[in-house]
Amino acid sequence: MIAVSVQDTFIRIARLRGDALLEFHVWNRAAPDGVGDVYTGRVETREKALAGCFVALGGGLSGFLPDSAGGKTLTQGQYVTVRVSRAAQGDKGPRLDLTPAPPGAAPGLIARGPGPLADLAARYPAEEIAIDDHALLAELRPELPAARYTPRAFDPVLEDEIAALRESPAPLPHGARLHITPAPAATLLDIDAAAASAMSPLALNRAVIPELCRQIVLRNLSGGIVVDFAGLKPARRRGLLPPLAEGLKNDPLRPHLLGLSHLGFAEISRRRVRPPLHEILPP
């Protein structure tokens, strides 16, 4: 089931299997992330070193169109129609893909993207959608005709679990904890044995991997992700790569497990599409 709850300007979206939370998204309609927006823009500069070009989208917004996404043959000053494929990050503009121009398209914004709810409904068309706001339900009815009203989309247990997604550390099985430290270049995930110190380090790390992978999805962590396992010498950590690769298979963004660094950290590359939760939620 996909449960949708309106809270102030935020629309919170949870995909559930029974009582288990599988995915969580926040849609801030007052400040949309822009993914899926379509623009007609003007090529500002070509950057050979970056293998792409920067495209002015209007209103002071500029995005990057890689050569691999259609920018290779473009020239400075040319008008093109592009779609935002990745949300802006920090002082970096959005990532763009070349897309066919609709008839009569003028420079600037042509159409807004579908938003995370429509994306989720498209990925899971058989899922029931329950919305706790009559106005939102009426607005989305043309796109989501099977959606229904419910007076309470999120029960107290789900509310508590979602509130915990603001926090670090996150609880792990057997009393372990997961410290999450985002940085511009990567996110560090540090597993702390804490109260689980009676278990062998290898058994503990194996036991927490499924929840570790679940937290990556729920918080939508992206880009480079570095995992520091608890209490194991780097040489013994290689045995954790197969269960970690298996746990990552359930991730809808299909991240890549790159292996271990020289320091013994597991390195994961997860595609950035929409911003991670810590960039969306107010402090």
Q: Does domain 38-111 have CATH number 3.20.20.140?
A: no
DSSP one-letter code for 194: G
DSSP one-letter code for 172: -
pLDDT of residue 283: 63
* 8 Å CB contact between 98 and 82: yes
Q: How far apart, in Å, are the Cα atoms of 27 and each of 8, 113, 279?
A: 11, 12, 12
Q: Does residue 201 sit in helix, strand or coil?
A: helix
Residues 83, 80: Cα–Cα separation, whole Å:
10
Residues 3, 6: Cα–Cα separation, whole Å:
10
| Region of 229 on the Ramachandran plot (φ > 0 left; ψ -120 to 50 alpha; else beta) | beta
Q: pTM for the complete prediction?
A: 0.90
pLDDT of residue 197: 65
Nearest to 171 by CA among 198, 207, 199, 222: 207
> For residue 34, which amino acid is it?
G
Residues 108, 22: Cα–Cα separation, whole Å:
37
H or E element at residue 120: helix 115-123
The strand pair at 186-192 and 223-228 is best described as parallel
**Fold entry, domain 2-28+114-157:** Nucleotidyltransferase; domain 5 (3.30.420)
Q: Which two tokens stand for residue 113?
A: 């993207």
Q: How far apart, in Å, are the Cα atoms of 175 and each of 110, 170, 205, 210?
A: 51, 10, 12, 15
Average pLDDT, 10 consecutive residues per value, the chain (283 residues): 92 95 93 94 92 93 94 92 93 92 81 93 95 95 94 95 92 93 93 80 94 97 95 88 96 96 94 93 70
pLDDT of residue 276: 95
CATH fold match for the domains 2-28+114-157 and 38-111: no
Q: In the chain, helix, strand, coil percent, each to 5?
A: 25, 35, 40
Burial class of 252 by CB neighbour count within 10 A (0 to 12, 13 to 18, 19+): middle
pLDDT of residue 259: 96
pLDDT of residue 196: 64
| Region of 223 on the Ramachandran plot (φ > 0 left; ψ -120 to 50 alpha; else beta) | left
Domain coordinates in residue numbering, the chain:
2-28+114-157, 38-111, 167-280
